[in-house]
Amino acid sequence: MHASRRKFLHGAGSMALGFLGLHRYAQNAGSVPVQGPVGSGYGPLRPDPGRIFDLPAGFDYQILSRTGERMDDGFLVPGAHDGAAAFAGRGGKTILIRNHELLATDANRGPFGANNALPGPLERSLLYDGAGQGGTTTLIYDTRRRKLDRHFLSLAGTVRNCAGGPTPWNAWISSEETVQRANTVYEKDHGFNFEVPASAESLVEPVPLKAMGRFSHEAIAVEPSSGVIYQTEDRADGLLYRFIPNRKGNLRAGGRLQALKIRGMEGVNTSNQMEQAIAAGRILDVDWIDLDNVESPLDDLRSRGASRGAARFSRGEGIWADRRTIYFACTDGGAAKAGQIWRYTPSRFEGADRERQNPGRLELFIEPNDKSRFENADNITVSPWGDLIVSEDGPGANYLVGITPNGELYPLARNAMNESELAGATFSPDATTLFVNIQRPGLTLAITGAWKRGQA
């Protein structure tokens, strides 16, 4: 990381961003309820004596879970901690469901130990693929006592579970970032979403949600009123997908998969790297294209969609729903490949016949093109007080960066341990604790302090 970036992010309390389009975020801040102070950040980051995580004064962290620790079910904490979400549990406790981005070759960091020997024979119906080392773990955490009650494996046998997203019906959708086909190593095709209820007390039956499409999944977000699910694709020419379930809240019942198309811009490359196709702040009406053969054995969903006019996004990654507003990040988007954040406002008739006359709208919300301020957004979340919290995945040191509704950027935390990406940032339902993962070597932190207070 170059010195100017280190100086800006490590020493600055906050700074207004000169990005086009941020004024529009402030003008439309009603979609992000703010009931506390904004714009000041939390002051400069202070070096952590433990050299794990730098935070502002008045904040501290606890390491909840490390790769290789024995869990309560006898399995080991898998490595490559990635996307996560928190849910309300019984007795005021928080349920944290966490992904693990592991391949078959990562058995030394998987949940079953050397030669898959722990804790013994596993019921085969609970293992999607015998070669899969990825999946999810569930942690039950008491925010008042700051104590981990227990943790266990909740999804097993899947591959490269990168991100996903929470649902309004209290489940985590875990997404495979791969299009691995069955071969001499893998028993089954991969590239699907899987559902893990927050209420699960042990391993769940791994059912691939095939109607949601087979592609290099990154993350999902659910618009609560319609139940429509938006999905990002981590490819340089990826699409933004929409899944309309046949039965709201029941993803196993199937549905329609579609791709976003910008009206008047057939097949546009939104990265702005070839040309400045889309200016920040511009409001774009969209349509949605029906896709068929969604299990896509040839991994051609995105090319088939683009041939029919779907917009292409440069490495769609984190996505989060804030009421009826959907934010999503493109890690390599922008002329400087520093990343972009987009905002989609669904139609009042999302997925219905009247949508054509009342279309959803897309806006390029942020394109910084200044790596000293902001670099390669990956996972994103919306804080209880309305700020976007961005996890960086770039070269050099990686930060958690906050962006206020007034368009100010501030450093929230820095990975002082290594140059690993940060992932899975998510707040507890009681708004007291921010969880975040350092992917390598695999740590989950619980951060507490004097958070701003908004609508939790």
Q: How does DSSP assign 153-184, residue by residue?
A: EEEES-S-EEEEEE-TTSEEEEEEB--PPP-S
Mean pLDDT of the chain: 88
Band the pLDDT of 371: cuts 50, 70, 90. confident
Instruction: Tell whether the model's pLDDT for residue 257 goes beyond 80.
Output: yes
Query: Is residue 122's pLDDT more than 80?
Result: no
Mean pLDDT of the 358-368 span: 92
Query: Between vectors from CA 47 to CA 42 and to CA 50, what angle results, nearest 5°?
Result: 125
What does the pLDDT look like over 307-321, one tens digit per residue? 999 999 999 999 999
pLDDT of residue 364 exceeding 50: yes
Distance (Å, whole) CA 207 – CA 254: 12
For residue range 415-426, list pLDDT tens digits in order: 999 999 999 999
Check: CB of residue 302 under 8 Å from CB of residue 252.
no
Provide the pLDDT confidence category of residue 377 given band limits of 50, 70 and 90. Answer: confident
Are the C-beta atoms of residues 268 and 260 closer than 8 Å to each other? no
- What is the pTM (predicted TM-score) of this model? 0.91
User: At residue 284, does pLDDT exceed 90?
Assistant: yes
Cis-peptide into 37, omega within 30 deg: no
Q: Please report the pLDDT score of residue 24 as a whole number.
A: 31
* 405 in Cβ contact with 34 (< 8 Å): yes
Average pLDDT rounded to a whole number, residues 198-210: 97
What is the per-residue pLDDT for 119?
61
Section 110-114 average pLDDT: 87
* Separation CA 455–CA 53 (nearest Å): 27
Residue with tokens 């004064």: 57
Kindly tell me the number of DSSP H helices and DSSP E strands found in the chain: 3, 27
Helix intervals (H) in 308-355: none
Q: What is the mean pLDDT of residues 198-206?
A: 96
Contact assessment for residue 286 and residue 262, using Cβ atoms and an 8 Å cutoff: yes
Look at residue 10 and tell me whether its pLDDT is greater than 60.
Answer: no
Q: What confidence category does residue 203 fall into, taking pLDDT thresholds of 50, 70 and 90?
A: very high
Among 406, 300, 436, which Cα is nearest to 37's?
Answer: 406
User: Given this model, what pLDDT does residue 39 score?
Assistant: 43
Q: Compute the average pLDDT of residues 352-376.
A: 89
Which is more confidently placed, 91 or 41?
A: 91
pLDDT the model gives residue 216: 97
CB–CB of 80/161 below 8 Å?
no
Could you tell me which of 228, 274, 263, 269 has the C-alpha nearest to residue 247? 228
Q: What's the confidence (pLDDT) of residue 409?
A: 81
pLDDT at 239: 98
Task: Say yes or no to pLDDT of 392 above 60.
Answer: yes
What residues form DSSP beta bridges with 437?
Answer: 423, 444
pLDDT at residue number 437: 97
For the chain, percent helix, then strand, then coil, each to nearest 5?
A: 10, 40, 50
Q: Is the pLDDT of residue 345 over 60?
A: yes
Lowest mean pLDDT among 119-128, 269-278, 372-381: 119-128
C-alpha neighbours within 13 Å on the C-beta side of residue 183: 6
pLDDT for 118 equals: 65
Alpha carbon distance 376, 394 (integer Å): 5
Give the span between the Cα atoms of 194 and 160, in whole angstroms: 12
Collect all residues with Cβ–Cβ distance below 8 Å to 39 and sequence separation of at least 6: 14, 404, 406, 408
Cβ distance 101 to 82 under 8 Å? yes
pLDDT of residue 2: 41
Per-residue model confidence (pLDDT) at position 407:
65
Domain boundaries, the chain: 67-208
pLDDT per residue as tens digits for the range 397-412: 999 999 877 667 889 9
Q: Distance between CA atoms of 104 and 402, rounded to whole angstroms?
A: 35
pLDDT value, residue 375: 86
pLDDT band at 395 (very low <50, low <70, confident <90, very high): confident
Q: Are 410 and 14 in contact (CB under 8 A)?
A: yes
22-72 pLDDT per residue, tens: 333 333 332 222 222 334 588 999 999 999 999 999 999 999 999 999 999
Dihedral angle sign, alpha carbons of residues 404, 408, 413, 417: positive
End-to-end CA separation in angstroms for the chain = 35
Please compute the mean of the pLDDT values over residues 222-245 and round it to a whole number: 96
- Residue 238 forms beta bridges with which residues? 313
| pLDDT > 70? residue 99 | yes
